[in-house]
Amino acid sequence: MDKVKPLSEYILDSQKIEINDYKNKIKLAILSSFTINGLAESLKVKCSQKQIFGSTYVAGYNQYNQEIFDTKSNLYSFSPDITFLILDTRSIFGNLFHFPYSITKSERKNFVDEKINELLNLIEKFNETTTSKLVITNLGLPHYSPHGIAEMKTSYSFHDAIIDFNKKLKDKVIEMDSVHIFDFFKFVIQHGENNVFNFQNYLFGDIKIALDYIPHLANDLIPYVISFLGLTKKCIVLDLDNTLWGGIVGEDGFDGIRLGPQPPGNAFVEFQKYLKALSQRGIILAINSKNNFDDAIQVIREHPHMILKEDDFACMKINWDDKVSNMQYISEELNIGLDSFVFFDDDPVNREFVKENMPEITTPDLPHDPSQYSEVIQSLHDFSVFQVTNEDTNRRKMYFQQKQRSESQKSSTNLTEFLKTLNLEIDIKKSDSFTIPRISQLTMKTNQFNLTTKRYQEEEIKKFSEDDKMLVGCAQIRDKFGDNGITGAFIVEKTNSDEWFLDTFLLSCRVMGREIEKAILYHIINEARKNNVKRLKAKFIPTTKNKPIEHLLPDSKFSKENDYWVYNIETPFSMPEFLTLRVK
């Protein structure tokens, strides 16, 4: 687990960080209604721990209104990627924090509505002026109330007003792609109000988050950075003995392992429940275990207290091979890069072996107490996403279907014959409120079959979609085994009446190797023909990971012209007959 150090150490460490040491970079702005010293330095250090260089801008004391409404402010000159707006209950409620009952119930309700409208005007101005993500804190709930124990007998009480404010704020911004809420209410509950709020700090310098808890706040803001940069991990690879259950099944036997409702077995049940919840929101689970397969699979299939079953795992390597070799096999079978994995193993020797040979994999150190396993994964923040899509929630089922495809392919004489049996259907869909989050997610996470690896946030995709000079779409793939979901996306810039430019073209690794890209390209070329376009221009930007798409353009009759590839629209283009293409 990431240990939080004293604030003074973060301030010192931040001074040693050099921009040239990091491939990933991000610009973070901090606005607040009170003194927030040390947050910028803590964020910078927390970013560096994730191999990210974080440039920061901190607005003046309680200057957030001026910074946002002044279009020539230093905030906008800084041009942040993410802006954190940190508010507190005392500042928002003013005198009503101490004297909420100096006005009537209806006036308290009107006050909350007025404050929400003020904040919405601020958000509207911010969104008009910048493309930055805006992360706003909701309000913490103080234990204090001037009514004391009568608070719970008071209609629309002081506490009710705060809760109402938070609910209305969430309801208003839930459909705003570029605005997110940091749950400061929950942050205070987690750490305790008497810890987070220090009266001495507050009275000395209007410091409303105690200095010792500034690093904790920075730690909880890092998930927004990870999600923005598309650095979210995709898969947790798990050991079995002393990881998913207590004991060693090969020695203790089926009935001797510790897994059940009583201690210490209930710690492993609880951990499995946490993993199951992650799986249901789209995180892939896999097994890498040195074990006798028959012993281990019997526990997975038959143990009455196993929460995770066989179909919860996209891949299982249960054998006596070394962990590094198995990790390589898992990467190849799932077709995702090593940097998308988190490896979870109780054995420090195995962890060190993987760390040394596969440093791209995140391999956290584990405590001896399995009751802390869930907390370890939470502290990594590696599975953070701005939004959970339908494809995320269905991913477990999709990988199970992929297993069936792989088994079916083994019985086919050649790839073409196998593809013919799949009954592949490609539905081309326009970008809309339902598909934009997934299109953005694909641009952020797809590395292998990605022509340019350009990354776009939801609000950028939305702006493209509203622009008549852009063509934005996606592809939903189905076959006889099931629905792969939206696994392809494209963005075309209509440069002029004669020429279009293929800005983005990608496929998820799950559907590579089925010639689906030819159907999508066929659709784009047809659209260009309908608009009397003469040339489709494209560029391949090579990276260390996108070699699988390297030959797409030359194989599709594009000709090289300097740094670009050009397709003459008059050139015939066909897609394989075994593909069914529909345009929605």
Same domain, yes or no, for 376 and 417? no
pLDDT of residue 224: 97
Q: DSSP string of 330-369?
A: HHHHHT--GGGEEEE-S-HHHHHHHHHH-TTSB-----S-
Domain boundary among 228, 261, 290: 228
Give the model confidence (pLDDT) of 383-405 as tens digits: 999 888 888 888 877 887 777 77
Strand pairing of 449-450 and 315-319?
unpaired
**Assigned domain for 386 exists:** no
pLDDT values of the chain reduced to their tens digit, one per residue, 584 residues: 557 899 999 999 999 999 888 989 999 999 999 999 999 999 999 999 999 999 999 999 999 999 999 999 999 999 999 999 999 999 999 999 999 999 999 999 999 999 999 999 999 999 999 999 999 999 999 999 999 999 999 999 999 999 999 999 999 999 898 999 999 999 999 999 999 999 999 999 999 999 999 999 999 999 999 999 999 999 999 999 999 999 999 999 999 999 999 999 999 999 999 999 999 999 999 999 999 999 999 999 999 999 999 999 999 999 999 999 999 999 998 988 999 999 999 999 999 999 999 999 999 999 999 999 999 998 889 999 988 888 888 887 788 777 777 777 777 767 888 888 899 999 999 999 999 999 999 999 999 999 999 999 999 999 999 999 999 999 999 999 899 999 999 999 999 999 999 999 999 988 998 999 999 999 999 999 999 999 999 999 999 889 999 999 999 999 999 999 999 999 999 999 999 999 98
Same domain, yes or no, for 186 and 260? no
Same domain, yes or no, for 44 and 188? yes
Same domain, yes or no, for 437 and 464? yes
From the CB of residue 370, how many other CB atoms can be counted at a distance below 10 Å? 22
Cα dihedral value 50, 55, 60, 62, nearest 10: -40
pLDDT of residue 51: 93
CB contact burial 564-573 (16+ within 10 A = b; e otherwise) = bbbbebeeeb
Distance CA 254, CA 265 (A): 13
Same domain, yes or no, for 133 and 244? no
Q: Residues, the chain, total? A: 584
Same domain, yes or no, for 195 and 284? no
The encoded tokens of residue 404 equal 């069936």
Same domain, yes or no, for 220 and 358? no
The answer to whether residues 272 and 243 touch, using CB atoms and an 8 Å cutoff, is: no
Contacts of 495 (CB under 8 A, 6+ apart): 501, 537
pLDDT of residue 1: 55
pLDDT of residue 266: 97
From the CB of residue 8, how many other CB atoms can be counted at a distance below 10 Å? 11
CATH code assigned at 29: 3.40.50.1110
pLDDT of residue 78: 98
pLDDT of residue 95: 96
Count how many domains the chain has.
Answer: 3
CATH code assigned at 576: 3.40.630.30
Distance CA 100, CA 155 (A): 12
The answer to whether residues 56 and 86 touch, using CB atoms and an 8 Å cutoff, is: no
Same domain, yes or no, for 240 and 369? yes
Contacts of 467 (CB under 8 A, 6+ apart): none
pLDDT of residue 558: 97
The answer to whether residues 581 and 575 touch, using CB atoms and an 8 Å cutoff, is: yes
From the CB of residue 353, how many other CB atoms can be counted at a distance below 10 Å? 17
Domain boundary among 228, 262, 277: 228
Distances (CA, A) of 193 to 6, 144, 190, 199: 19, 10, 9, 11
**Assigned domain for 401 exists:** no
**Exposed / middle / buried, residue 507 (Cβ in 10 Å: 0-12, 13-18, 19+):** buried
Number of H helices, E strands in the chain: 24, 18
Residue 345 half-sphere exposure toward CB, CA atoms < 13 A: 25
Same domain, yes or no, for 478 and 454? yes
Same domain, yes or no, for 215 and 268? no
Domain ranges, residue 289: 235-380
Same domain, yes or no, for 153 and 16? yes
Instruction: For residue 97, give the 3-state DSSP assignment.
Output: helix
Domain boundary among 358, 380, 402: 380
Give the model confidence (pLDDT) of 345-354 as tens digits: 999 999 999 9
pLDDT of residue 2: 59
